[in-house]
Amino acid sequence: MDAIWFVLPWRGGSASGSPLPFFYLHLEKRGGGDILPRQLVIGKETGDFMNREKVEKLVREILSEIGEDTQRDGLKDTPGRVAKALEFLTRGCSKTPNEVVNGAIFESVKDNMVVVRDIEVYSLCEHHMMPFFGRCHVGYISRGKVLGVSKIPRIVDCFAARLQIQERLTNEIARAVKDAIDAEGVGVVMECRHLCMMMRGVEKQNSVMMTSAVLGSFHDDPSTRAEFMTLVKGV
């Protein structure tokens, strides 16, 4: 199975003269010859994918709507700070896995399992735009090529720094690792706390959500999957 990233220009014009956005289109070629779109990411050529002034204005309007005085000392600069924070927290929208891996793929022995545990994860739930956070564990078996160890957390951040749900985030990380080195198998386990169900709604402060994605031999071979889970638990 082949995975291909295309960068496609936006067909609309830009009346303001601001940088034109682009699409990152991720296509997957399956064994039968079918080519299926897997993922679409929108960004801008400069990496500046957000109109900060517009966001500041909108934040100021929200503060006013909830009854705050936007001119008091503590809130004067809040719209700008929120805009910068959102730009940082969604920075993954302008990145692809190929960019963050940046060619750091190296020859190695085949069939060995590589596991990176306890990678910190911070993301925003797309339903309420509230944070969820926790740990991610990634493992793979190589076919003779390995990723530079720092590239695994970078792949995690690439997908976490977007509006997300944990289920999709887990799967996207697994797919990206597998595609990057044509791994024999990949496993990803994620455990996170979601503020959208801790601070509001059902208000369950001790709840932890766990998700997993297993591909290739991690999916097909129970003993491989069991080895991965044992290493994740640190037993």
Q: Would you call 125 a catalytic residue per the annotation?
A: yes
Kindly name the residue from 166, 172, 184, 192 that is annotated as catalytic. 166
Q: Would you call 194 a catalytic residue per the annotation?
A: yes
Other C-beta atoms lying within 10 Å of the C-beta of residue 182: 15
Q: Would you call 219 a catalytic residue per the annotation?
A: no
Tokens representing 177? 């690792």
Question: What residues contact residue 190 under an 8 Å CB cut-off, 6+ apart?
Answer: 121, 134, 135, 136, 137, 166, 169, 170, 173, 210, 211, 212
Q: Which residues pair with 27 in a beta bridge?
A: 4, 37
Closest CA to 173 of 159, 184, 161: 159
Tokens representing 200? 């509001």
Kindly name the residue from 99, 120, 127, 167 that is annotated as catalytic. 127
Q: Which residues pair with 45 in a beta bridge?
A: none
Q: How far is 42 from 8, CA to CA, in rounded Å?
A: 10
Q: Would you call 205 a catalytic residue per the annotation?
A: no
Q: Would you call 196 a catalytic residue per the annotation?
A: yes
Kindly name the residue from 87, 191, 196, 219 that is annotated as catalytic. 196
- The beta strands (E) that lie in the chain are given as 2-9, 21-29, 35-44, 105-107, 113-125, 131-141, 145-147, 163-164, 185-194, 209-216
Kindly name the residue from 125, 136, 158, 192 that is annotated as catalytic. 125
Kindly name the residue from 128, 191, 219, 227 that is annotated as catalytic. 128
Which residues are designated catalytic? Answer: 125-128, 166, 194, 196
